[in-house]
Structure 1
């Protein structure tokens, strides 16, 4: 229960310091630590639980040794953590002012009255996008949590001992971490979200179909199945920072964003309940049922991503056309169908106008979503 508030707090807190063109890569750094801890922690845990000859059991030593750095880190962070860039002690007054001002057009931290805060909270519960992102993340959390729990088990089915399986998990998670960071960098670099998710989902689909189609009892296919496992891990792990960034970038307003993050992550965590149940030992070594369930969740995500992309782009286009109409700008069908040029003209017309306010949040007519 104490840890439940940690992920949404991190996502909200990081979003208060960085512009939306910078978020995906930062979230990938956070997720890469989780991924790498699985590689290191699994090996360490295996040896720690073997400790004997003391008054404590091995599992007790595991809790003690893993909790000590956590507690120390928590104390250090508590001493130096600030509410946001506006009171960051590690910045100069000029840097704090710059950090706040550059985020203001994107709905960065601001002082708002109670009624406005209530309005934003209400918007968080009534915005359709929140629930689409929730379902997207819930589905993504199923293969993610499945791999987090069962990756050593899957690798062990390829003829390795328990210790060897833990060691062979390390290259898999390292590859997943490298791809996660690269994919997140590309997402920020080109300001795309749906495209990067589709690439990762394609990798997951290839990995899962490969696992389903190959004979799990044929030793000559073990290297190929290991390759499919690596591809699956790269796809399944890399979607999370992009999804985090997608809803953090597109849901505006300090209270609306933070409440939406809490809603999305709280409900999406239920995916972990499914992920830890779909690979029973009785299904070894092929785990066909679990792989099929994971494949179904990835295909469902593909549908949601495509639908969300078209929905967001249609909203953006309507707002672009509304801006042109408001400013009596004449346009023909050729311009109407040229999304890039249409956006450039619309943004030029409103360059001196606010893009956001605390009441409308991301529903402001001058705001544009990232797709």
Structure 2
């Protein structure tokens, strides 16, 4: 009888596990995906608004480069507090507050008339958005077991390319209309800021901070996910200070990778529409339509890469290869081809760099415990976000000085290759990370 009972329990336990994993994914991922689409639209709409602002306000490439980059000064400063608020306070309160704040600031950006006003609006927007991304990465580690984490992260971060698939044609269409005698780029900021305000209110009531608080899970499901998360905690997990994080070779390596790769990503996303327009001479509407194609391919690549990474249980090569592919596209773009099909193909290859994100961001939450990961994710993203300032600004500066995109593209290519090589040096497992930490006289 005892044998029969154990045989009956095993399938039931598997059923509870499968149902719990599916229920959590179905509940959280679609909503977080929508929030991140809104986040990226509000962060990057300047790339398309620049097409109209340069004409109406006379802003130079250097002004737009600084406007895009100054966002990251305040964004960097508040990364770690944002991640820690999710761990120590409340994810739903933090996410709700940041969304309402950044939505309001996006709407107000429609009122700018001078470079100084643009810089102020972007600086405040960076402060408002700072806690969202690292907070969600930590939040996902509260809900998704290790074997599901890269796929969950890829589903969430798929919002980055999809926001451009949806946002590029929308932006191009809005820019072609001046309703009520108001410039199209002003309407763009207004219409893309309102959804963030509304969704911020919804997030407060929809999200749940911890599995133990999830009334939408059955008792057996709550018990299973809490027990599974406890089992996956690294042995000897301890809280680490910011100073300890700064001394950890593992965290510093991951932060360096993020800096190099964010230099590529943010330079690309802010200058892609302008490069495409100047190389092809297309209208704003056609630039918006063609600009969606590379991001659609990238969305698929991101999902496949995250799925295969979980299946293979490998992170480093799945993070490095997309960066090497991007480097080949950037190499081709240095020649600034005039062929529209060739330009789109090369831009698509460069855009594949985004596929590294979900597998990379699964690494710190697997190598470190929850408390350590919260500080580490904030620090890693903060260091990377410095490149969010340096990349767009330096790209615009070089273009203004030389009259060519080639120098900026060459820097992006070098950064992609260096980042890919460096990530291959990351520890393979939590045990390897612990040994490295012990060598640093750290106990992560």
Alpha carbons of 1:201 and 1:165: their partners in 2 closer, same or farther (altered >3 Å)? Answer: same
Larger Rg: 1
Alpha carbons of 1:75 and 1:269: their partners in 2 closer, same or farther (altered >3 Å)? Answer: same
CA drift at 1:34: 2.2
Residue number among 149, 152, 169 corresponding to 2:270 in the alignment: 149
- Report whether the alignment pairs 1:230 with 2:351: no
CA drift at 1:224: 2.5
CA drift at 1:86: 1.7
Residue number among 2, 7, 28 corresponding to 2:154 in the alignment: 28
Deviations 1:198-235 (A, max 9, x none): 321221121122222x4x35x4x44333212111111x
Q: Give the match for residue 127 of structure 1.
A: 248
Distance 2:415 2:424 in 1: 14
Alpha carbons of 1:266 and 1:147: their partners in 2 closer, same or farther (altered >3 Å)? Answer: same
Distance 1:152 1:104 in 2: 46
- Extract unaligned runs of 5+ from structure 2: 1-126, 436-441
- Report whether the alignment pairs 1:161 with 2:279: no
CA drift at 1:18: 0.6
- Report whether the alignment pairs 1:192 with 2:314: yes
Residue number among 374, 390, 407 corresponding to 1:289 in the alignment: 407
Residue number among 249, 266, 270 corresponding to 2:382 in the alignment: 266
CA drift at 1:66: 1.5
Deviations 1:88-143 (A, max 9, x none): 122112111111111112229xxx9xxx64x5666544422111111111111111
CA drift at 1:51: 4.4
Alpha carbons of 1:92 and 1:130: their partners in 2 closer, same or farther (altered >3 Å)? Answer: same
Distance 1:15 1:91 in 2: 17
SS of the aligned residue for 1:103 comes to helix
More helix by share: 2
Q: Give the match for residue 249 of structure 1.
A: 366
Alpha carbons of 1:284 and 1:162: their partners in 2 closer, same or farther (altered >3 Å)? Answer: farther
TM normalised by structure 2 equals 0.63
Distance 1:261 1:246 in 2: 10
CA drift at 1:291: 1.1
Residue number among 326, 333, 340 corresponding to 1:204 in the alignment: 326
1:39-118 equivalences under 5 Å are: 39-52=165-178, 54=180, 58-107=184-233, 117=239
CA RMSD across the alignment:
2.8
Residues 137 and 240, structure 1, Cα contact 8 Å, conserved in 2: no
